Structures are given as structure tokens and as C-alpha cells.
Amino acid sequence: MADFSSQSVLSRRSLLAGFAAVPALTATVEPGAAQTAANSTAAQQVQSALKEAKGTKLVMLGTAAGPVPGRSRKMTSHLMLSNGAAYVLDCGLGVTDRFAETGVAFSALRSIFITHHHFDHNVEYGPLLSIGWVQGMPLSVRAYGPPPLKQMTSDYIRSMRTTIDFWAEDLKMKALEVIDVTEVSGAGPVMQDDNVRVSSVVVEHPPVKPALGYRFDFNDRSIAFSGDTTPIEAVAHLATGADILVHEAMYVPAVETYVKAQVAKGRPVSVEAFMAHMRADHSPVEDVGRIAEEAGVKTLVLSHLTPAIDSITDDTWRAPAAKYFKGEIVVAKDLMVL
């Protein structure tokens, strides 16, 4: 740090001056400018839907299950927007880009919630904090999730210390030092602010302990999330009378076909072990219909789709749940606004 040569200082300055001269890059220092995303139709649609929105909105950011890259659906994440405040639930790979695509300013980000510690729910938690910080996320942002979320947060920030300090020095920003983290280990109230009251339940997703479901009671709407779980009573109880239940969903015949194809390609798992894991950890879509009917929700959103294969039609997803649930059933897609 002490031996910055005048030349390297000069080159850093010219580099910054260069940034300022290129309009596209000014987004780097202007919070909330999602310019690169404006080209995508889905991004345009979500941005205009949110612009016209009255009341609390849920945006499905990522709707695929599992730590699998390269799909059109990103790993699991959600954004709730209420009175200009943004709440993110889960941080699978893709959450930061998807958040930017909504056009919501990073300065609106108030709280982040994690359901459980699987990659498809937490892997981009740290990057959301650091890129969010660069883009104007308030340092008062709070995070909630199962232990060891405090340790994970401080370990991540420590691992990025050098980069954070370079950026803070260059742009004269207050450095990202600590985030207020509340660890959630069981069922009960999680937090409350002027927009929302959040509560949790423990769900069944071995060997992950605890794995959580959450319910968000906003002033105008209630939204419950199963997290990753087998079909259980606790989720029906959590979601009782909610406007929306977002439940994970698995279409078993397609999972079996998909796994067999993966194994044939050399993925190092056995079909039997994989299917046993799926049955012990996830919810067949017909059972999701039962849970939603029991809870008496208005709208059931099928998400965290297993397998997240685009060739499975919405009707194929919907039909098994519709045998039991008579309300509205929505098959989630990335950037869908509800």
C-alpha cells in the first residue's frame, strides 16, 4: 500500500477520467441505472409493470432449482417491493443481474433473507452485497437467515477487503465493513418494520438444518414461501389465508428422465441415490396442490422448478396441482411480476 509509484497513481487517475468520458460506464457510479438490461424484453416488461404498480409487488427473479448453471431460468431468488423498499429472499446465482434488470435502484435494498444454506439459495449473497454496495445499497441493509450467516457474512467481507478498500479509496466511498445480520434458527417472528411483518417456520429438507420457510405480511398483501421442503403441514399452517403461496415444485417423471440422461453424460451420481435424495427433500407438484388447498391461499405459484427444463409446458406443471387446488395456479418464470 505504501509504495504506490506516482506512475501508478497517475494511471489510476487517467483510468477514472476515462470512465467518466464513457457514458455507458457511468452506470458503475450511478446507483440504480440498469442500462445494460434495458435491451431485454423481459427486463422492459418488468420495469414498466413496476412503474405502473400500485401496492406491494413480488418479482420472481430466479425460478430454477438446484446449483445448475447455463439455464434460461436462474437459481432461486425473489424481490418484494413495497412503498419503495426492496426485500430480497434467497440469493441463488443470478440474483444481482436479475435485481438490476427490474430497474429497482440498489439504494432501495433494505433487507435480505436466506431460507437455507444450499448454493442455489445463498451462493450470490456475498456478491449481491459487494456489487450492491458499489451501486448504492445502503450500509444499513440487514440480513436474516440460518446460522452461520453472521460468520459467512464477515468471512465474505474479509475475503473482499482488498478490493473493497481499493474501490472505497478511489471513489471516496464509505467502505463496506459489516452488515447487520440476524440469525434465524427456528419458527416465529423474524422482523418487523413500517412495511412488513416477517415470520418463519422450520421445514423438512435433510440434511440441511435448519431450512426455513417465510411469510411476509405487508399492509396490503401476504406472501408465503415454502423454501425447499418435502410437503409438510407446517407450510400449510404458515400460508393459511395468504394471498400468495410460492411453493417449490417437482415433476417426478421428468426428474427421472433428466437424471438418467445426466448419468449417461457422466455425472458422478447413481439414479437411485439421486431419486432418493429428491423424494426425501422436495415436493411432488400434486402434493403442492394439497398444501395450497389446505392453506386456502388465493394464488399458488409453482417455482424452484425441478427439473427446470423449458420444454415442460405450463399445463404439465399445473395439472397435477389443479387436481387438489381450485384457486389460481401460476407457473413461475424469471422476472414475472405478481
- Which residues of the shown chain bind Zn ion in the complex (CB under 5 A)? 65, 118, 120, 228
Q: 125 — phi, psi (to 5°)?
A: -60, -50
Query: Which parts of 267-320 are beta strand (E)?
Result: 299-306
3 state DSSP class of 247: strand
Residue 78 or 118 having the CB closest to Zn ion: 118
DSSP 284: B
Residue 75 or 141 having the CB closest to Zn ion: 75
- In the complex, the smallest distance separating the C-beta of residue 292 from Zn ion, rounded to whole angstroms, is 19
- In the complex, the smallest distance separating the C-beta of residue 90 from Zn ion, rounded to whole angstroms, is 8
In this structure, the strands spanning 336-337 and 222-225 are unpaired
- In the complex, the smallest distance separating the C-beta of residue 1 from Zn ion, rounded to whole angstroms, is 41
Residue 110 or 282 having the CB closest to Zn ion: 282
3 state DSSP class of 229: coil
Residue 13 or 277 having the CB closest to Zn ion: 277
Give the cell for residue 205.
Answer: 429438507
Return d(Cα 62, Cα 40) in angstroms, integer. 16
For the stretch 118-151, what's the b/e string if a residue is b when 16 or more beta carbons lie within 10 angstroms of its beta carbon? Answer: bebbbbbbbebbbbbbbbbbeeebbbbbbeebbe
Find the Cα–Cα–Cα–Cα dihedral 167, 171, 175, 179, rounded to 10°: -90
- In the complex, the smallest distance separating the C-beta of residue 331 from Zn ion, rounded to whole angstroms, is 17
Residue 228 or 287 having the CB closest to Zn ion: 228
Residue 84 or 206 having the CB closest to Zn ion: 206
- In the complex, the smallest distance separating the C-beta of residue 121 from Zn ion, rounded to whole angstroms, is 6
Own/partner contacts of 258-267, CB < 8 Å, gap of 24 or more, are 258/307, 258/309
Q: 78 — phi, psi (to 5°)?
A: -140, 150
**Close Cβ partners of 232 (under 8 Å, ≥ 6 residues apart):** 203, 204, 291
Return d(Cα 48, Cα 166) in angstroms, integer. 36
Residue 101 or 120 having the CB closest to Zn ion: 120
In this structure, the strands spanning 180-183 and 142-145 are parallel
DSSP 338: -
- In the complex, the smallest distance separating the C-beta of residue 59 from Zn ion, rounded to whole angstroms, is 19
**Close Cβ partners of 283 (under 8 Å, ≥ 6 residues apart):** 226, 229, 230, 231, 247, 248, 249, 250, 291
Residues 33 and 99: beta-carbon distance below 8 Å: no
Residue 118 or 221 having the CB closest to Zn ion: 118
Residue 112 or 134 having the CB closest to Zn ion: 112
- In the complex, the smallest distance separating the C-beta of residue 77 from Zn ion, rounded to whole angstroms, is 11
- In the complex, the smallest distance separating the C-beta of residue 94 from Zn ion, rounded to whole angstroms, is 13
- In the complex, the smallest distance separating the C-beta of residue 128 from Zn ion, rounded to whole angstroms, is 17
